[in-house]
Amino acid sequence: MDFANLKADEDLIMGVHFTPGRQGRAIDRVYVHNMGGDLTGRDCHGIWQDREASAHYCVASDGRVTQTVWDRDVAWHAHNWPENQRSIGVEHANSAGPNTDLTEACLDAGAHLVAAICLYYRLGRPEWLGNVFPHCYASPTDCPGPLREGHSQHDEYVRRAGEWYDRMASGETDQRDYESAVDAADKEDKVLPNECLIQPDGKPCIWHVTPAYVKGLTHPDQMRAVQDVYRRNTGRDIPVYAYGSEEAPWAERLLQSYPKSCVEV
């Protein structure tokens, strides 16, 4: 999972049981759920084909994250239409049956994902009943099981979400996320998506663009070093090209898609 850019390990996007768009509503909260069993994102995707329900993300017991509804669309997760319109829904696998504890990997990845969503959409530090809510807040249910107030994993989950947010906001995890993406790309013999060197908007400078950050290169040797390391790691030349212009400042628009903590130009 590329948490900095909210890119899941796997995309299995629903074709039914969601609503395209958000009808003008902004995302201002996250809802947490438990699946009621030890399910994967693929399992949930299959179940929801015949059930009028869905969520944006599913976190499996091994920590793998699957996206099943795009953030820009409304998932049917809270059984409450106004709340669905304004929120992101995150499902967590139980280690066994309904209301059993989450595995360590699921708890940590879920808390990390909630923190990443809060940072990406500028919702502020995760706060229970502030910008992070349990399913039972929106409709009568025992969901999210062990993550409810007063239950076995609530306090630890909230603590970790705050801790992950602080680390991501400070930029501490950006390099680790980037290195994970490099490792995955190397294993699959793929070019790392979005990594390139660009000349932005006709300006006399170069930016190094990666999935985790955008950094301005201030010396020609920096560009040569990036090119050399990329070539050694991939056996290919890093893409280099002009992007945008003074009249059409697409590079500036690109910067706006990154958290401020991930930009240094």
- The answer to whether the bond into 144 is cis (omega within 30° of 0) is yes
Per-state percent for the chain, helix, strand, coil, to nearest 5: 35, 20, 45
| pLDDT at residue 192, as a whole number | 47
Residue 32 corresponds to which tokens in the numbers above?
Answer: 């947490």
Per DSSP bridges, beta strands 196-200 and 206-209 are antiparallel
In angstroms, rounded to a whole number, what is the distance separating the alpha carbons of residues 157 and 249?
41
Give 19-82 as a DSSP string. ESS-TTPPP-EEEEEE-SSS--HHHHHHHTTSSS---SEEE-TTS-EEE-S-TTSEE--SS-HH
Do the beta carbons of residue 1 and residue 55 sit within 8 Å? no
The letter for the amino acid at 23 is Q
- Domains of the chain and any CATH numbers: 10-173 (3.40.80.10), 192-264 (no CATH)
Cβ-contact 72, 22 below 8 angstroms: yes
- Cβ neighbours for 11, distance < 8 A, ≥ 6 positions apart: 66, 67
- pLDDT value at residue 194: 65
Across-strand partners of 206?
Answer: 217
Q: Dihedral sign, CA of 16, 20, 23, 26?
A: positive
The pLDDT of residue 237: 82
For residues 151 and 139, give the distance between their C-alpha atoms in angstroms, rounded to a whole number. Answer: 18
Tens digit of pLDDT at every position of the chain (265 positions): 889 889 999 999 999 999 999 988 999 999 999 999 999 999 999 999 999 999 999 999 999 999 999 999 999 999 999 999 999 999 999 988 788 999 999 999 999 999 999 999 999 999 999 999 999 999 999 999 999 999 999 999 999 999 999 988 887 654 445 445 445 444 444 444 568 899 998 888 899 998 888 999 988 888 888 888 887 777 778 888 888 888 888 888 888 888 877 888 8
Q: Which DSSP symbol is given to 7?
A: B
Q: Which residues pair with 195 in a beta bridge?
A: none
| Overall pTM > 0.75 | no
pLDDT of residue 182: 45
